[in-house]
Amino acid sequence: MEPLTSFNIFTNIVSQFWVVWLGIILVFLISIRTKRSTGLYGKLFDSPIGMTGFVLVLFWVLTALFADLIMTHNPLDQVSGMKNKVPGTPLRGATENDYQWYLLGGDHLARDVFSRVIAGSRIVLKIAPLATLFAFMVGITLGLPAGYFGKKIDTTLSFLANLILAFPVILLFYLLVTPEIIETGLPKYLAGVMFLIPILFMLLLWQSRFHIRPKVRNKFMLWTLLVGGWIYLGAAFNADPLVIIRNLFYGPEVEWSLFPKGLVYMQPNILIVFVSVVFVNSPTVFRIVRGMTMDIQTRDYVAAAQTRGETPWYIMLWEILPNARGPLIVDFCLRIGYTIILLGTLGFFGLGLESESPDWGTTINSGRKLLSIYTHPALPPALSLMSLVLGLNLLADGLREQSLKD
């Protein structure tokens, strides 16, 4: 087998992504057809900056979704003789079924750089949006009452938020994301408190809206408690009800092929990464929500709701929050980008994630040691991270521009 030329590497990579190109074309065709009826999302296609951002984000989302189709090799497999090989090197000892080349070369442990970048996108896009969503739930649930009631609640919560904000992020990571801290069980308790807040948020949402229709409320609340509680137990305490019930009936020795660790399971080291990222992000969200609540509560429609005798939580969740959605959506996009940078930082310092994990930060970290000799292992993850964050920032900019137009 001959090594590939630069042009062939390029065409092979492009063809490897065929699923993604197809997906982008489909999404664009449908979106542009229906853009008059999809509100803010449709207006995005009037702004070139917003559209560029959307393409970049969509590219990585689809890549993460179809990673199994795009990857050419197993991201953890080490093939002897492929150590630090340049892009386009034919795979040594390849069989018929194998992909014949390492498209972007091999890293210092002879793994395929291309497949690792693709696998990394999956990890990054699994953690970052979810962690940002949690940070928003926490920030909103605490920011609304702080801005609405003011006084003691505001003073206390703002002091706590400022306390966390005054902590240098990197120091917090080094103190919180260590094996010793995991040993003490601290992340579990932090998660135990933090993950409770979204459930509380949902319950308040139903209670404030449907308290005069107890039947509807009870139905919503029951489902929230069932689904939320299941996820809560599985994610925070590693106590998935399915596993508990199985253990009760069959004992812990029986090996299960279907969901061996339950439906919801989070590795302890991922949990601490997740918790610390939420921890860093939520005070900023809190401050934004608090500021907007203070602003919006002087509006007439809030006064009208107060005169109608609505409860404070109804006003906060069903009057103020929907009217604050514009800036919150923009900030959500920006914050996912920031969270991705934070995850990269954690990976760069080898905190939390395993050393063989293909996420971009860890890959950059392992590639930088030989960077002046072999540039190919560290460059692709660095460019991937940059393009995804850039996409999110451009998307946020486009959304802001379009939402200001009306």
What is the binding site for another protein (CB under 8 A)?
49, 159, 162-163, 166-171, 174-176, 178-181, 183-184, 186, 337, 341, 344-345, 348-349, 361, 364-365, 367-368, 371-373, 375, 378-379, 382-383, 385-386, 389-390, 392-394, 397
CB nearer to another protein: pick between 193 and 303: 193
Q: Which residues contact 107 (CB under 8 A, 6 or more apart)?
A: 84, 113, 116, 363, 366, 367, 377
Q: Kindly state the smallest distance separating residue 231's Cβ from another protein, in Å.
A: 28
Q: Kindly state the smallest distance separating residue 175's Cβ from another protein, in Å.
A: 4
Q: Kindly state the smallest distance separating residue 364's Cβ from another protein, in Å.
A: 6
Q: Kindly state the smallest distance separating residue 184's Cβ from another protein, in Å.
A: 5
CB nearer to another protein: pick between 122 and 400: 400
Q: Kindly state the smallest distance separating residue 241's Cβ from another protein, in Å.
A: 30
Are 137 and 289 within 8 A, CB to CB? Answer: no
Question: For residue 232, which of 194, 175, 177, 260 has the smallest C-alpha distance?
Answer: 194
Residue 359 tokens, joined: 């996420």
CB nearer to another protein: pick between 98 and 295: 295
Q: Kindly state the smallest distance separating residue 128's Cβ from another protein, in Å.
A: 14
Q: Kindly state the smallest distance separating residue 160's Cβ from another protein, in Å.
A: 9
* 200 alpha carbon, distance to own chain's centre: 21
CB nearer to another protein: pick between 274 and 360: 360
CB nearer to another protein: pick between 2 and 183: 183
Are 41 and 92 within 8 A, CB to CB? Answer: no
Q: Kindly state the smallest distance separating residue 8's Cβ from another protein, in Å.
A: 19
CB nearer to another protein: pick between 219 and 368: 368
Helices 113-149 & 151-165 angle (0-180, nearest 10): 150
CB nearer to another protein: pick between 228 and 358: 358
CB nearer to another protein: pick between 303 and 371: 371
